[in-house]
Amino acid sequence: MKRKLQVMTTLLIIALIINGLATAPCTAAEPPSQLQNPQTDSRELQLQDMLVLQLLPYMNEQLEAAYFSLLTTTPQLYPYLVQVEQVERLNGFRGFDFQITLRAFPTVGPHNSVGEDLFTYRISTSQIKLINYKHLKEPKQHNIPPNDLDMRRKSK
């Protein structure tokens, strides 16, 4: 009986420790302040998020090329760090030719922000085409921790 009590107490302590570690605060960088963070879900937000998920591969491809001269690693783009700026129907009501503008905040390492980019895509039934890409902000040295500074390419 005493042995069972010791085992149960030990398991309870281990469970509490593991639970405490699992709920420890995250030390990753906060999302950029320009990013709107909705507090409730909506049908519109769900549809925007689905669209962002479909466009992420295209956006990552463009980021890889744009950041090649700035970073030694390809930045990551997470869906929650992409904001839909504008959506427009190009051929009237119920037309299926859209133009969408997205603001993105790519990261490296443990979510260290390395810039800001603006993408404009044209989406129709037959294609997804990048219309405009604008690199708005460069990686700043103070955004990258000292142990990850080797991710920045040296300026010439």
Specify if 86 maps to a domain: yes
Mean pLDDT of 23-28: 46
Window from 90-94, 121-125, 142-146 with minimum mean pLDDT = 142-146
Specify if 122 maps to a domain: yes
Cβ 94 vs Cβ 12: under 8 Å: no
Q: Tell me, what's the pLDDT at 25?
A: 47
Asked whether the whole model's pTM tops 0.85, one would answer no
- Torsion, CA 74, CA 80, CA 83, CA 88, rounded to 10: 100
Continuous segment of H or E residues that includes residue 83: strand 82-89
Q: Which residue has the higher pLDDT, 35 or 38?
A: 38
Specify if 50 maps to a domain: yes
When divided into structural domains, the chain yields a total of 1
Q: Tell me, what's the pLDDT at 82?
A: 93
Q: How confident is the model at residue 24 (pLDDT cuts 50, 70, 90)?
A: very low
Specify if 76 maps to a domain: yes
Residue 73: domain span: 43-151
Q: Rg (Cα) of the chain, in Å, rounded?
A: 22
Q: Which residue has the higher pLDDT, 14 or 93?
A: 93
Which runs of consecutive H residues, i.e. helices, occur in 23-145? 43-67
Using the predicted structure, report yes or no on whether residue 62 has a pLDDT greater than 50.
yes
Q: Is 20 exposed, middle or buried (0-12, 13-18, 19+ CB in 10 A)?
A: exposed
